[in-house]
Structure formats: structure tokens, C-alpha cells
């Protein structure tokens, strides 16, 4: 007797090594479920426990298309389809995930403290706009020094242009990007070059167009509402079938695509009051996969609640996520260097939040938030810094601005370098957004390619209304326009300015420096200090070295007072090599302990034995 729905394998149609094809569909309220091949007779599936329907050794082969018919009436694409070559409304295609030849048997994912993440959007990262376009540029990323790429969502979405958060087939890889085989090939190439791959997945909602899951069963619940409509059913009647669907999706990415880790989008929007929350259940399933595979796949949660329960162990009531995005590091840094204090930035600005986020990540850790009008957050005591992912830019913080303007459109060259140093030399896990490393001038805008005219108009109006209080005299770029998409593409390297080329080398050497001085940073001692009203410092010390990093966020020079000793200058952002305007701040003479650090700059000093 089956005692749990989790005994079932991945839903959808699976092709096994022996060539046999099986089907598994979850539709608990249906009285009949059939597979309708494009060629051949309908195949009636057998009812099983917990609302599953099963068929074995089906007369359908890889490459053939099919639909699923419920109760002898309307036919739909498979909710667990692995391929949608004709788009979100077309038939599904049988896909063999096991016929790709991998050559990464020796690959092992890096430790969290060794991650330097590069977030990219497949459609705008290269001129090709697909997985092959990303693969062609991997050598550039290796040269830059990052250790992992993070792909924005690739689950099938309507049309060919989208950020990916409107995906409606969580198991199907976007056809225009190269489909399942294209993604497997990209991951294999990344591992060959020493790069880990993180995939952004969305388990808090599905997009509106082409969303057929509700036809098959209670995938959604009216018990809660989210910004995107009805919540996914993780704790209401029949929720175990829904949980099975998303847990198996996670295992598919890690097992069949060799993805190293997942970034779970907006987990605060996952509504779940179960005794065993789905995130904890998901983590338990990943740990079981890790034990059986010998790999160390990881889960990174995006959460804006400053809630350490997402990181705490399951036996302590937490969800045991391996790491969590730390938005407040961004907010404090952005508000300080740009002077923006509207909206949620009103809770930041000035040096106090910047000092606090450098010390512990969270700024609001159980204190009053004037913007939210309530006490907010919890204290991350005992949380290793590498478990917080920090950034000065990402797809949200750029693309959710009406004009999609990057920091390179808001800051001068000196402050761009200062921001880079503050992020990359922090004790946390750093993330870069594509183009940041050379100061990309093109915006990253919000774009879609929906097919429903009413939805298109609703998105246009919603986008304009979102910014009505900020940009009253400007019109938001049309998300549906191809021009909006084209403007968001990265600039070809041949067209970079001299300043951009200099910034690219600056990032490269800064990353190299991080690797040399922050190896095993979770185990190093560190001290955060406020040297002056607008000057912060970090001291990293271990048995083998003492490193002092000083950041001057003020526009005026700062006279550093160094403890007695002999020092070596490892890096200075205002050096003429980086098109800076400063003199070397240190002559390494103990009798001259006071050195000048020019405005909007930072230096890295190593104390000699």
C-alpha cells in the first residue's frame, strides 16, 4: 500500500534508458485522463493513489507531440511538459533528458564562501539571445574571475521576450533559448570551464498567459492572495500533489540538468502555514539527493523579510536555506552613493545604515522601520557572512526603476569603483549583474511579449501607474515593444569606451584580490570600524595575514592614521592605473603613519610581518 504521494517520480512523460516511455499526471478531481499523441490512438491512464494517473510503456516516442485530455472533453498541454516548441498554448513534446552525454563527472560545486556570482538574462546577454550566445562568452567570465553564473528564469513563458517570471511551464526550458538540450549543453560547458551554475526558479506564482495548471487540479488556493493573484496551494486540501510537483521540479534541475544551486524567487510570497513548511520539505529532499549523488547542491532564497528562520536549521523551526539575498546591503549602499531617499530608500541614507549592514547584513533587525511603520526584521546572530548574498545592482533593483537606469547612469567613475570595492571586498557572498563590471550604459528595462491583447494593455497601464508618483511627466517604456527589449541588450565589447575597458580590468583585479585575501573568510577574524563620519574600514586577520581596507565615502580627502608597523599597498582605487585622481596613500614607512585617502576611494593594505 502506498503511504505517501512522494513515492512517485517526476510528473509528465519520461523516457527511460531502456527506451520505454511512462506517463504520470496529477489530476485528483478528474474521472478520466488520456494522453493524445499527435499520431496514433488516445492512451488512457490508470488511476492511482492521491490523485495520480499513470501509464507505462506508452506507444509514443521522444520528439513526438501530445496533449492531455481530461474527462473526455478539452485537451491541454501537459503541466509537467519538458518542451513547448509551439509556445505556451501549443502541444507538448516528449523529451528524453537522459540522452545528453555529460563530461563533468569530476566536477564539484564550490563552497558558498568561494562563490562570486554573475547574474545574467539569457535573452539580452548576447547578440544571439540564447544559451549558445552565453556559452560563446564563458571565457570572458572566467577571465573576469567570477565562479558562478546565475540565470534568470528559463521556464517556458509566452512569446520570446520576458524576464522569465511569467513562466507557466516550470518543467519546460524556454524553446527560443535552446530548450532542454541547449541548457544541458550550457551547464556542461560551464563546468568544463570551472563555473558553477545557479538557476532562478519561481515557486510563488505562475504567469497569467498559458497557465493551464488549474485545469488539472487545485494547484491554487483562494485562501491567500499574492501580488500576482491566487496563491499556489501549499497548505490547503490536496496540497501534497502540488508540493510533489514543485519538489520534483527542483530535483529535476539538480539531477537531470546538473544545476549546482537554485535561487528561489520571493519566498516571502510562498504562503504556507503547514507544520512542515514546503521550503523545509524541499531542503530535506535536496539533502537526500546530495547524499545519494555525492554532490553539494544548494538553495538560495530571495526574501525581503530579514527573517533568520529561512536560514535556521529545520530542527529549530527554520527552513535551512543555504543562503539568502540581503536587499538591505543594496539599499544602504545605493542610498548613500546616490542620495536617493524616496520610497523604501527613506529608511536608509547616511553612513549609519551602511556601517550596520557591513557588520551584520540586516539593517532592520528587530527595530522600528519608519517607512513600514512597524518593528521589522530579526537579528542574524551566528549566521556566517557567506550565507548572505549582497549586490550593488541586480535585475530587480535596475529593471524595476521606470527607466531601467543602472548605477553607471547615476554615478561618476570614482563612485562606481568605490561601490565595486565595497561589495566585492565585503565578508558576504557578492553578486554582480551583467554589464556592471564595465559600467554598461544601456538600461535594463522591463519587457514582455504576451499574445493576449487585454493582458498587454493591462501590463502597460500597470507599469505606468506604478511610477505615477515618481515620474509624473515621463512615460514608462512600453514593455511589449521590441525596442524596449533591444535597448536592454548589452553593448558589444568592441564598442566599449576606454573608461569602460579600464573599469573591466579594475573588476578583474579586484576579484583576484578578493580570492587572495578572503579565502576561508568565514573562519577569519574581522573588525568593522567607523574611522570618520564618512569613512568605514574592515580589518581581516588570520594566522597568516592582517588586511586593512578603508572606504572613504566622502568627497573630501581623509587622513588615515595607521597603527605602527610596515605596510604593503595591495590596491588603491584612485590610482592613475584606474583613471583615478589620487596619489598613492601609503609609503610603507612606520615613521609616517598618517596617509591621505582621496575622496570617493578605497585602499587595501597588508601589514608586513
What distance in Å separates the CA atoms of residue 512 and residue 571, rounded to the nearest whole number?
A: 11
CA distance 309 to 316: 8
Angle at 252 between CA 248 and CA 258, to 5 degrees: 150
Longest dimension (CA), the chain: 90
- At 358 the pLDDT is 97
Query: Which regions of the chain are under pLDDT 70?
Result: 1-2, 468-473, 520-523, 582-594
**Which pLDDT does position 173 carry in this prediction?**
98
Residue showing cell 544602504: 332
Q: Which stretches within 32-157 are classed as H helix?
A: 122-125, 131-136, 138-144
Asked if residue 395 belongs to a known ligand binding site, the reply is yes
The annotation status of 328 as a binding-site residue, yes or no, is yes
The CB density around residue 520, as the number of other CB atoms within 10 Å, is: 11
Report CA dihedral (264, 266, 271, 273) to the nearest 10 degrees: 60
pLDDT for 451: 94
Cβ pair 349, 335 in contact under 8 A: yes
Binding residue per annotation — 263? yes
- Which residues are catalytic, by number? 265, 302
**Spatial CA neighbour of 42 closest among 10, 22, 66, 74:** 66
What is each CA distance from 53 to 35, 49, 56, 83, 609, in whole angstroms? 11, 8, 11, 20, 70
Q: Which residues pair with 429 in a beta bridge?
A: 389
pLDDT digits (tens, 9 = 90+) for 186-242: 999 999 999 999 999 999 999 999 999 999 999 999 999 888 878 999 999 999 999
Position of cell 574611522?
531
Q: 579565502: which residue's cell?
A: 519
Distances in whole angstroms, Cα of residue 166 to Cα of each of 142, 202, 320, 525, 547: 31, 9, 27, 43, 45
Q: Is 379 exposed, middle or buried (0-12, 13-18, 19+ CB in 10 A)?
A: middle
Does 399 show up as a binding residue in the annotation?
Answer: yes
Q: Where are the beta strands (DSSP E) in 185-235?
A: 196-201, 220-226, 229-232
Q: How far apart are CA 462 and CA 465, in angstroms?
A: 5
> Each residue of 41-64: pLDDT tens digit?
999 999 999 999 999 999 999 999
Contact partners, residue 436, CB within 8 Å, separation at least 6? 392, 393, 406, 407, 408, 420, 507
**What's the confidence (pLDDT) of residue 468?**
66
Q: Where are the domains of the chain?
A: 5-93, 132-467
**290 annotated ligand binder:** no
How does DSSP assign 428-479, residue by residue? SEEEEETTGGGT--S--------S-HHHHHHHHHHHHHHTTTT-TTS----T
What's the CATH class of domain 132-467?
alpha beta
* Domain at 5-93: CATH architecture: Sandwich (2.60)
pLDDT value for 225: 85
**Is 267 assigned a ligand-binding role in the annotation?**
yes
The response to whether 230 counts as a known ligand-binding position is: no
Q: Please provide the size of the chain in residues.
A: 609
Q: Rounded to an integer, what distance in angstroms lies between the CA atom of residue 345 and that of residue 343?
A: 5
Q: Is 329 annotated as a binding residue?
A: yes
Q: Note the Cα 498 to chain centre separation in Å.
A: 30
Q: How far apart are the first and last CA of the chain?
A: 69
Match 508540493 to its residue by C-alpha cell: 243
pLDDT at 418: 98
pLDDT of residue 374: 98
Q: Which residues contact 352 (CB under 8 A, 6 or more apart)?
A: none
Does 454 appear as a known binding residue? no
Alpha helices in 172-310 (DSSP H): 179-192, 213-216, 239-256, 278-293
**Residue 330, all three cell numbers:** 543594496
Is 189 marked as a binding-site residue?
A: no
Phi-psi region of 343 (alpha: psi -120 to 50; beta: other; left: phi over 0): left
- Three-state DSSP class for 417? helix
User: Of 105, 121, 114, which is closest to residue 176 (Cα–Cα)?
Assistant: 121
User: 491: closest CA among 443, 424, 557, 457?
Assistant: 443
Do 180 and 174 contact (CB within 8 A), yes or no? Answer: no
Sequence-ordered alpha helix ranges (H) in 257-394: 278-293, 327-338, 351-360
At residue 31, the 3 state secondary structure works out as coil
Is 136 marked within a binding site? no
> How many CB atoms are located within 10 Å of the residue 243 CB?
23
Please give the pLDDT value at position 521.
64
CA distance 117 to 390: 10
Helices (H), 201-347: 213-216, 239-256, 278-293, 327-338
What dihedral do alpha carbons 377, 378, 384, 386 form, nearest 10°?
Answer: -10
Amino acid at each position: 500500500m502506498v503511504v505517501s504521494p512522494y513515492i512517485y517520480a517526476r510528473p509528465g512523460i519520461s523516457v527511460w534508458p531502456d527506451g520505454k516511455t511512462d506517463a504520470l499526471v496529477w489530476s485528483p478531481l478528474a474521472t478520466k485522463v488520456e494522453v493524445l499523441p499527435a499520431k496514433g490512438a488516445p492512451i488512457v491512464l490508470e488511476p492511482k493513489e492521491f490523485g495520480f494517473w499513470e501509464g507505462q510503456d506508452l506507444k509514443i516516442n521522444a520528439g513526438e507531440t501530445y496533449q492531455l485530455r481530461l474527462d473526455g472533453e478539452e485537451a491541454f498541454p501537459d503541466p509537467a511538459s519538458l518542451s513547448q516548441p509551439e509556445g505556451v498554448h501549443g502541444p507538448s513534446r516528449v523529451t528524453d533528458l537522459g540522452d545528453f552525454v555529460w563530461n563533468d563527472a569530476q566536477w564539484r560545486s564550490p563552497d558558498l564562501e568561494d562563490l562570486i556570482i554573475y547574474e545574467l538574462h539569457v535573452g539580452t546577454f548576447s547578440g544571439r539571445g540564447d544559451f549558445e550566445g552565453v556559452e560563446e562568452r564563458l571565457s570572458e567570465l572566467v577571465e573576469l574571475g567570477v565562479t558562478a553564473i546565475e540565470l534568470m528564469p528559463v521556464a517556458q513563458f509566452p512569446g520570446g521576450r520576458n524576464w522569465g517570471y511569467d513562466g507557466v511551464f516550470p518543467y519546460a526550458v524556454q524553446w527560443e533559448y535552446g530548450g532542454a538540450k541547449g541548457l544541458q549543453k550550457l551547464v556542461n560547458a560551464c563546468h568544463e570551464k570551472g563555473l558553477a551554475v545557479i538557476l532562478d526558479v519561481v515557486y510563488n506564482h505562475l504567469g497569467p498567459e498559458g497557465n493551464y495548471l488549474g485545469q488539472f487540479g487545485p494547484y491554487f488556493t483562494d485562501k491567500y492572495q499574492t501580488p500576482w493573484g491566487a496563491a499556489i496551494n501549499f497548505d490547503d486540501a490536496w496540497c501534497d500533489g502540488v508540493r510533489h510537483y514543485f519538489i520534483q521540479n527542483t530535483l529535476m534541475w539538480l539531477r537531470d540538468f546538473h544545476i549546482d544551486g537554485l535561487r528561489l524567487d520571493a519566498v516571502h510570497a510562498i504562503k504556507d502555514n503547514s507544520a512542515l513548511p514546503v521550503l523545509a520539505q524541499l531542503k530535506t529532499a535536496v539533502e537526500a539527493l546530495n547524499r545519494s549523488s555525492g554532490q553539494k547542491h544548494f538553495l538560495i532564497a530571495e526574501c525581503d523579510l530579514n527573517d533568520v528562520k529561512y536560514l535556521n536549521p529545520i530542527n529549530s523551526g527554520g527552513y535551512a536555506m543555504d543562503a539568502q539575498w540581503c536587499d538591505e546591503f543594496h539599499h544602504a549602499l545605493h542610498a548613500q552613493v546616490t542620495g536617493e531617499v524616496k520610497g523604501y530608500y527613506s529608511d536608509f541614507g547616511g553612513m549609519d545604515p551602511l556601517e550596520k549592514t557591513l557588520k551584520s547584513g540586516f539593517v532592520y533587525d528587530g527595530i522600528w522601520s519608519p517607512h513600514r511603520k512597524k518593528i521589522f526584521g530579526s537579528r542574524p546572530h551566528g549566521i556566517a557572512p557567506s550565507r548572505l548574498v549582497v549586490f550593488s545592482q541586480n535585475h530587480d533593483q535596475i529593471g524595476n526603476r521606470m527607466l531601467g537606469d543602472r548605477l553607471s547612469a547615476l554615478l561618476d567613475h570614482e563612485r562606481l569603483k568605490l561601490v565595486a570595492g565595497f561589495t566585492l571586498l565585503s565578508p558576504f557572498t557578492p553578486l554582480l549583474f551583467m554589464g556592471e563590471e564595465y559600467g554598461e550604459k544601456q538600461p535594463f528595462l522591463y519587457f514582455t511579449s504576451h499574445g493576449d491583447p487585454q493582458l498587454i494593455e493591462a501590463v502597460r497601464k500597470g507599469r505606468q501607474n506604478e511610477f505615477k508618483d515618481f515620474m509624473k511627466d515621463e512615460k514608462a517604456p512600453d514593455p511589449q515593444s521590441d525596442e524596449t527589449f533591444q535597448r536592454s541588450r548589452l553593448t558589444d565589447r568592441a564598442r566599449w569606451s576606454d573608461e569602460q575597458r579600464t573599469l573591466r580590468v579594475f573588476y578583474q583585479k579586484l576579484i583576484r584580490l578578493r580570492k587572495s585575501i578572503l579565502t576561508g573568510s568565514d573562519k577569519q577574524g574581522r573588525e568593522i570600524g567607523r574611522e570618520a563620519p564618512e569613512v568605514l574600514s574592515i580589518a581581516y586577520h588570520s594566522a597568516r595575514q592582517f588586511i586593512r581596507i578603508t572606504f572613504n565615502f566622502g568627497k573630501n580627502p581623509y587622513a588615515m592614521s595607521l597603527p605602527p608597523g610596515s605596510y604593503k599597498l595591495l590596491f588603491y582605487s584612485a590610482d592613475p592605473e584606474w583613471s583615478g585622481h589620487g596619489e598613492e596613500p601609503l609609503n610603507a614607512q612606520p615613521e609616517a603613519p598618517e596617509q591621505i585617502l582621496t575622496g570617493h576611494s578605497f585602499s587595501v593594505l597588508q601589514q608586513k610581518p
